[in-house]
Amino acid sequence: MDSMLLIATALLLATGLITLYSASGASLARVMGQATNLAIALAAMWAVALVPSQRLMRAAVPLYLLGLALLIAVALVGEVVNGARRWLDLGFIRIQPSELMKIAVPMLLAWFFARKEEAPRLRDFGLAALLLLVPMGLIARQPDLGTALLIGASGFYVLFLAGMSWRLMGGVMAVVLASLPILWSVLHDYQRRRILILLDPTQDPLGAGYHTIQSTIAVGSGAIAGKGWLQGTQSHLDFLPERTTDFIFAVYAEEFGFIGNLLLLLMYLLVIGRGLYIAAHASSQFGRLLAGAITLTFFTYAFVNMGMVSGILPVVGVPLPLISYGGTSLVTLLLGFGILMSIHTTKKLVKS
């Protein structure tokens, strides 16, 4: 176990439990439920941290293929919840296979580029992009655009760290911008509405713009020092929706203010900095690519959630990592941290 990463993670997890207690209306049952999720996630992190990174590399392809098979099963026989087909009921447990792909996709792409003895060529990046787009398409079809974009970001980070040229990235960006009209046409109505509401939430203050308006009020009302723990009015008077999950940052910002936000950002920077250090000092190409992608994806989670709650990004349903209530996302995140620890402790075998 990497002590520095573990301490930084523990600080965030403790902050999450404290904030959750307030956000849930002082519900001990809710906090104990999250504590149970945390115990499972920590056990998973510990188990993965004991696995040498060479074995993780060998597991990359089977894990990716299993994830694809589960995504196809979701498309065929998945359980529909709130109009979205994202869950697969196995009888004894209900799983969300898209969460598995958050780990499987960067692992596979890191394995793919680590096998190259020479600098990757254009066709290598093209094949890697195809391996990335297939699960993204299946997840976006559920529909779960937020998760699809996060998995896309994790895959892009591997491509970038593998040596993707700025010229090629510029070309890809030009293609994306040129295809925006097509992408807009395939979005669902609620997804288009979220983007339009970002520009002016007041055009539908009681509908699509409600989340953004209430969350920005909560964040702004925290001022410099905040209203105090358990004293937030937006959350405790039930103005703030999804306050234990996607919008828990608004609860935290209202109660702890600008100073509390700076402390939270510092805790996130400690985790991200340690992850990047592990990536820079990895003993293999596979470890460097995977550790870098996991760390930068964690940064993306935090950035997207805070941007969403602050009204600078559309509402996409991304939880605040290690703070929001939820078992599946917590297990996925700590599995990633377990992989970071495995990469950090794995040393090259040098012949004597």
pLDDT in tens, 219-260: 999 999 999 998 988 888 888 888 898 899 999 999 999 999
Contact 144, 137 (CB under 8 A): no
Q: How many CB atoms lie within 10 A of CB 259?
A: 13
pLDDT of amino acid 350: 39
Cα 294 versus chain centre, distance: 9
Question: Would you call the peptide bond into 143 cis, given omega within 30 degrees of 0 as the criterion?
Answer: yes
pLDDT category, 347, cuts 50, 70, 90?
A: low
Q: Where are the domains of the chain?
A: 3-345
Of 34-38, 75-79, 160-164, the one with minimum mean pLDDT is 75-79
Counting every residue, how long is the chain? Answer: 352
* CA distance to 137, 179, 182, 183, 194, per residue, from 176 (Å): 15, 5, 10, 9, 20
Is 111 or 209 the better-scoring residue by pLDDT? 111
How many helices (H) and strands (E) in the chain? 14, 3
DSSP single-letter state for residue 183: H
Is 168 or 299 the better-scoring residue by pLDDT? 299
- Burial (CB count <10 Å: 0-12, 13-18, 19+), residue 166: exposed
Quick one: which of 101, 100, 106 has its CA closest to 128? Answer: 106
| Predicted TM-score (pTM) above 0.85 | yes
| pLDDT at 97 exceeding the cut of 50 | yes
